Amino acid sequence: MAKLNEGRVAIVTGAGRGIGREHALMLASQGAKIVVNDLGGDTSGEGTDASPAQEVVAEIEGMGGEAIVNGANVADFDAAGQMVRQAIDTFGGLDIIVNNAGILRDRMMFSMSESDWDAVINVHLKGTFAPSHHAAVYWRERSKAGEDNDARIINTSSPSGIYGNVGQTNYGAAKAGIATFSIISAMELAKYGVTVNCLAPAAYTRMTADLPGFDSMTEEQQERMGPRWIANVVSWLASPEAAGVTGRVFDVAGSRIGIAEQWHLGPQAEQPEDPADLKSVVAGLMAEAQPNSNMFGLPEEGPGRPAKQI
C-alpha cells in the first residue's frame, strides 16, 4: 500500500523534541524526506544543542527513511531562506513546511519584560513567516514557470491564541497572529497550488508539563494526550489527500479533532448620538452575546456550564 507522503519533501521546525519530533517521525514513516530543524534551546529559547535534531535524523534513518539536520533559528530571515534552499538542494524540491518551533516565557502582563515579549513574538510569529515566505517564493516561481505544485504549509497556533489563557499575553498574541496569518496566506497562495492550514494543539510535552491541568495528569492521561495524535493530523494534511482543505484551524486534543471557527459578528444595535446613552445599548448586546470560550473552546464556566475535563 502506498504511503500518504511517499516521496514528498518536508521541513519540520522545532523537530528535535515534543510535537515537532512526532511530526518528523510520522511524516518519515509515511514516506516523506525530512529536514529536521531545531536550534536545540531550552523551553525559554536559551542555548543551542544540535543533538536532539541529530537523534531524530538517526531515528528516521534507522527506519529506512531520509533526513538531514538543520540548526537554523527560524526567526532569522536569511537563515530560514537557507533552510528552504537546503531542502531543495538536498532532496530536489520542497512540498511541505510544518512551522512548529516555539518557546514559552509566561508572565502576567504587568510582570512581563520587553525581552519576554520580543523573544516569544519573534520565534513564533516571525519564525512562521520567514520559512513560509521563502517557500512561497519557490512555489510561486515554479507555478509561473508552468510547474504544478501540490504544496502545504501547516502552522501551529494554540488554544491560548484562539481562546485565551491567563499569563500568556505574549504567547497568545503570537498564536492568534499565526491563526490569522494562516487564513490570509491560504487566500493568497491558493492559485499557486499551496494549501495553508493551522493546528491549535493540546498535548503533554515538556512545554506543557508544568501548566495547570497538565501538571496533575496520570500516566494514562499523559498517554491519551500524547503528541502523536497531533502528528496524525499533520501527516494527513501534508498529503495529496488534503488538497481541498485550506484556510482552517484544527483544534486537536488527544484523539479528538475539531475545527475552530473564525470570529463571527454577534448581536448588533444602532448607536445613540450621545455616548452617555450607550450604557443600555451595550448592556443589551452583552446580554445577547455568547460568552467567551475557555481553553477548551467552550463557553466559560458558570451555572450549568461545567468545564470540560481533559
What is the set of active-site residues? 158, 171, 175
Residues 230 and 252: beta-carbon distance below 8 Å: yes
**What is residue 229's three-state secondary structure?**
helix
Sheet bearing 194-202, strands edge to edge: 67-70, 33-37, 9-12, 96-99, 151-156, 194-202, 249-253, 256-260
Element (H, E) at 34: strand 33-37
Q: What is the DSSP string of 171-227?
A: HHHHHHHHHHHHHHHHHHHGGGTEEEEEEEEE--STTTTTSTTTTT--HHHHHHT-T
Encode 162-173: b = buried (16+ Cβ within 10 Å), e = exposed.
bbebebbbbbbb
